[in-house]
Amino acid sequence: MTNFVLFGKPGAGKGTQAAFLKTKYNLVHISTGDLFRYNIKNETELGTLAKSFMDRGDLVPDQVTIDMLEAEVDRNPQAHGFIFDGFPRTESQAAALDVFLAIKEMNITATVALEADDDILVARLLERGKSSGRTDDQDESKIRNRFEEYNQKTAPLKKYYEGQNKFHSINGIGSIEEITERLTQLIDRL
């Protein structure tokens, strides 16, 4: 079973590349953003719990996110593997994911960071904001704040996964096809 974690700042192309990888390698793509939206929209127990924190302006506790992720993995028992997108975001989440996967007799095969210059990502997100309607993609100061949060919380995962010899970085600048080719070459070598 092949399990990947895709990293990258907002706008790095994680969702775009995950869509390709899921088809090419017959994997299940698990986006935490999609999981939250699904659970909240369908008023699941976890969605209602998550919404209660969000409505108060609080961060959703790691355990709620982990429980949603575990439920999604359990819903896909025939999967050949998973692409985790947007999770883990912190070292404690990474450790919890390792424990959960070990219980399922699985592990993370590799983590891949899509690296790109902040100014290029800002331009991408502002362009996406014109068509997506996402207000967080229409304000440069909000975008840069998201980058800073990534730098503080998620970037340290590089060290965590380097310690397991599972961290890889690729250039996330270029055409979608060029980036896909870089990813494919990396994955095929693993």
∠ CA(124), CA(161), CA(166), 5° rounding? 90
Cβ atoms of 108 and 166 within 8 Å: the answer is yes
Exposed / middle / buried, residue 133 (Cβ in 10 Å: 0-12, 13-18, 19+): exposed
Instruction: Please pick, among 128, 142, 144, 166, the residue that the annotation labels catalytic.
Output: 128
* Calpha distance 117→186 (Å, rounded): 21
Residue 150 pLDDT: 87
The proportion of the chain whose per-residue pLDDT surpasses 90, expressed as a percent, equals 68
144 is catalytic: no
- 2 φ/ψ angles, rounded to the nearest 5 degrees: -110, 125
How would residue 1 be classed by pLDDT, with cut points 50, 70 and 90? confident
Instruction: Please pick, among 51, 142, 144, 146, the residue that the annotation labels catalytic.
Output: 146
Instruction: Please pick, among 9, 14, 22, 124, the residue that the annotation labels catalytic.
Output: 14
Cβ atoms of 114 and 17 within 8 Å: the answer is yes
Residue 37 pLDDT: 87
The length of the chain is 190
Instruction: Please pick, among 24, 37, 130, 134, the residue that the annotation labels catalytic.
Output: 134
* Calpha distance 9→42 (Å, rounded): 28
Instruction: Kindly write down the DSSP assignment for every residue of 90-129, as one continuous string.
Output: SHHHHHHHHHHHHHTT----EEEEEE--HHHHHHHHHHHH
The whole-chain average pLDDT of the chain stands at 91
136-147 pLDDT tens trace = 788 898 889 889
Does residue 175 carry a pLDDT above 90?
yes
Does residue 156 carry a pLDDT above 90?
no
Number of Cα atoms under 13 Å in the Cβ half of residue 110: 14
128 is catalytic: yes
61-102 pLDDT tens trace = 888 999 999 999 999 999 999 999 988 988 889 999 999 999
Instruction: Please pick, among 89, 144, 153, 166, the residue that the annotation labels catalytic.
Output: 89
| 168, β-bridge pairs | 112
How would residue 190 be classed by pLDDT, with cut points 50, 70 and 90? confident
Which domains, ranges and CATH numbers included, belong to the chain?
Answer: 2-178 (3.40.50.300)
**The token pair that represents 82 in the structure block:** 């998973």
189 is catalytic: no
Contacts of 62 (CB under 8 A, 6+ apart): 90, 92, 93, 96
How would residue 135 be classed by pLDDT, with cut points 50, 70 and 90? confident
* Calpha distance 27→84 (Å, rounded): 10
